Amino acid sequence: MSANQEFYIQSLLKGDPKGLRQIYQEFLPRIRKLITTKGGSEQDAQDIFQNALILLYEKAQKPGFKLTSNFYTLLYGVSWNLWGNRLQKKSFKEVSIPENVKYSTDDDIQMDMERSEEQALFWEAFKELGEDCQRLMRLFFEKVKMEEIAEKMGYASVGYAKKRKFQCKEKLVGLVKEDVRFEELQRSK
C-alpha cells in the first residue's frame, strides 16, 4: 500500500484534522458527483460521504484490517452501496441481497466495485464525445459492419468510416486517461 493510502487510513483512525480535511477536499467532490448524477441531492451526498467514512473507520479498527485496493476505490464502493440501499428504502422495496453476493469474498466485492467505477468512467467520457462520434461508436459496439456504418453515417467510403472510427476511439481513450480516476484504478490493480 502506498504511503498516501496509509495516510488516509491513519487520518481516519486518529481523527487527524489535517488528514480528514484532505480526505474531504480530495474525495467529497467526486462522491457528490456520483450521488447527484444518480438522483441525490447535495445533502444526500454529504450524508452518504460521512456514513461511508464512518463505515471505513469501523472496518479499519478491526484487527487484521489491510487495505488491498486504492482508498478511493473502497470509499466509492461503500458510498455506492449506501446510496443504492437508500434508494431501495425510499422506494419502499425490501432490501435484499442476492444469494451469489451474500457469500462473496471482500476481493470479489472489490473487483465488482472497480468494474463499476471503470464503467462509470468510460460512459462519462463517452458522453463528452461529439454526437457524430457517439453515434458511430454505438454502431461499432453493436457490431454493425463498416459498410453499413459508412452508409448510415453518410460517409463517402468505408475507408473514411474506418478512419473516423479510429479518431473517435482515440478521442474516447484520451478522455478516459485524462480523468484522475483512471490513474487510481490502474494503481489499484
Q: Residue 146, CB half-sphere, CA atoms under 13 Å: how many? A: 11
pLDDT tens-place string over residues 8-24: 888 888 888 898 899 99
Residue 92 in this model has a pLDDT that exceeds 50 = no
Architecture of domain 1-96: Orthogonal Bundle (1.10)
73-94: average pLDDT: 72
Distance CA 78, CA 50 (A): 11
pTM of the model: 0.49
Residue 46 Cα distances to 13, 91, 106, 119, angstroms: 20, 21, 25, 23
48-56: average pLDDT: 88
pLDDT tens-place string over residues 95-126: 444 444 434 444 555 565 666 677 777 778 88
pLDDT given for residue 181 in this prediction = 73
Distance CA 187, CA 72 (A): 11
Residue 187: pLDDT band (50, 70, 90) is low
At the top level of CATH, the class of 106-189 is mainly alpha
What's the sign of the alpha-carbon dihedral 108, 111, 115, 120? positive
45-66: average pLDDT: 86
Residue 88: pLDDT band (50, 70, 90) is low
Look at the block and give the residue holding cell 468510416: 161
CB atoms within 10 A of CB 100: 8
